[in-house]
Amino acid sequence: MDVNSKIYGFLTCILQALLLSSATLEPFDLLHDNGVEAFYKGDYGNVVRYMESALKSFSEVRQTRIRCRLKCSDQHRFDSFLTDKIFEVILYRGHCLNQCIEGKIGAQSMHKISEDAIQDFNRRNPYNYLQLAYRKLGQLDKAASAAHTYFQANPEHVEMGEDLEQYKAQKGVKEEDFIDRESRPHQKAFFAGVKLYDKGNYEESVTLFEEALTEYYRADVECRALCEGPQHFEEQKHVLYKYNLYELISDHYTQVLHCQHECVRDLATRPGRLSPVENYLPLHYDYLQFAYFQAGRNEEALECALTYLLFHEGEEFMTENMEYYREVLGHDGQPRKEAEQYLRRHKQELDLLLIGSSNLGVPYIEGVGSENLKSVISFFLCLFKKAFDLLDHYLLLDKMYAVNVRLVQNSDTLNGSQRVLFDDVISEDECSELKHLTVTAAGDGYKGKMSPHTPNEKFEGATVLKTLKYGYEGRVPLKSAHLFYDVSEKARRIIESYFMLNSTLHFSYTHLVCRTAISGQQDHRNDLSHPIHADNCLLDPEANECWKEPPAYTYRDYSALLYLNGDFDGGEFIFTEMDAKTVTASVKPRCGRMVGFSSGGENPHGVRAVTRGQRCAVALWFTLDPLYRELVRNRVFVVRL
């Protein structure tokens, strides 16, 4: 090694040391990467050191942001609606946040972490490395704890489940070693209270339910504080229309409100589950009113019954309980103030969201003022009418489409209801052309990044409008973009015809997607490419239910997947029972094959891991409600005309 190389290496080390020394906390993604590197070197002592430090750093960054945002919002309040005063408070609050956060964890630029890295921690991936490292070091009690923690958030991981069974059989490993190191206090107390309640230990359960409520409201405050960070504007690229200062603030604040509203769902969802516990917060007051009654504490029972009715006004069984408590006590009571404040705030936020969403939904049109907006709307309505007239004509001329389609399996042979499998829906040449289109036009928020469903695959996608837009810009063949549109329309008519629907089946969403196995990440893989779910309801395997409520796409009625290739390993489409485990049918993708089914809880489905190669398909969701039709197709007609 020459002198210059030595000097360069020395200066690099000094620079890294200075950067890290300026921060009081090392970035958790750097510590995680060091831990992974140590793991592949077989240096298990350093795996433990780095991964435990990474988890501590991740937690400290999160808690620092919460504490600083709450502290600065308390110190610098918006007590006036005067514009100058509002901006003054914003500037002071921003300065307060920078000082507070950087005083705790160092320069914030050191802690700007990629979404992929954050997802690794949210999925508890460091605990997978930790359990293996602790096992190699012979510390089985800590290995069991790490394995249990990981498995709580990844219950589909078969290998980890097997490891846990082995730990239970090991000498020196006790039952109390199987703890969830990432358990959320409000959920831990609530479910412990439910266990005592079910055993009839009402006095003890009251303590835990009250603790759970205290922790829930604290967790809600923290969740909302975390929403006050940078936001992602996936739907608006800031080049489609012009923004002024107030529109930018409005858009950002609307995103924050959406995030804060999602805290209700987040706090009610257990680790590793897709669906929240139904009626989660009101359920606390339901359990409490009866537990207090059983303990002879009718004052508290009445208070909790009245609080429950704030969430579900007029609910018959609780109204009867309330009237009974009033009669026994001889007087009325009051609901709890924290619940009243909570609901009042949520109502105000929902009202603001309606305003904010309407602002987000109206694009800026250059040169169009309010005085001539009506004439512009009339013009487009006229244009859309002509487009739909042309569609009718187009459909009449194109009935030949379905001539070569073969019915392969029906509901009986697929062991379910409202299921069908077709072959030869499109040709090999059409499959090849569409598959190529996916690669060249991909970019609907994925851009070949890690799949939203598994870290072991990359996910690329393109919509009808995106591909047609690229076609007219010359970035993809226009013929291919038109083919995508025509093939999706053909699929719609096949599904509508086969299921003999009496009303028109509208597109809800259409997506051309490819899932690609990431090389080097497929050994001993036991997760799914797409977890088991239903398309219009929230699947709850434990309760054997599928809850048709937001955030599920409750308006979806039928679904279809048209496959473009079969030259890959894994990737089978599977139907299951409501338990999300018992497989009832499996479909191996191939070019031109299409599976169709109703979108409800009668058809839970998922995709097995793609372990080699790339799996491409056209995913289609349909609705019978024209209010929820895919409006971008109107824009496609305008472009094609």
Active-site amino acid positions: 615
| Half-sphere exposure of residue 146: CA atoms within 13 angstroms, side-chain side | 20
Strands (E), 370-436: 406-409, 419-423
Asked if 549 and 557 touch (Cβ cutoff 8 Å), the reply is no
Looking up tokens 């408070």 gives: 89
Q: Rounded CA gap, 481 and 487, in Å?
A: 10
Q: Which of 558, 576, 585, 569 has its CA nearest to residue 409?
A: 585
Q: Rounded CA gap, 622 and 598, in Å?
A: 9
Q: Rounded CA gap, 141 and 168, in Å?
A: 10
Pairing of strands 558-563, 614-623: antiparallel
Q: Rounded CA gap, 618 and 560, in Å?
A: 8
Asked if 465 and 635 touch (Cβ cutoff 8 Å), the reply is yes
Strands (E), 273-425: 406-409, 419-423
Burial call 336-373: b when 16+ CB within 10 Å, e when fewer: beebeebeeeeeebeeebeebeeebeeeeeeeeeeeee
DSSP 62-126: HHHHHHHHHHHHHHS------HHHHHHHHHHHHHHHHHHHHHHHS-GGGG---HHHHHHHHTTHH
| Half-sphere exposure of residue 62: CA atoms within 13 angstroms, side-chain side | 14
Q: Which of 384, 420, 388, 387 has its CA nearest to residue 405?
A: 420
Asked if 384 and 634 touch (Cβ cutoff 8 Å), the reply is yes
Which positions ≥6 away from 11 have C-beta within 8 Å? none
Q: Rounded CA gap, 639 and 641, in Å?
A: 6
DSSP label of 276: P
Q: Which of 561, 556, 559, 565 has its CA nearest to residue 573?
A: 561
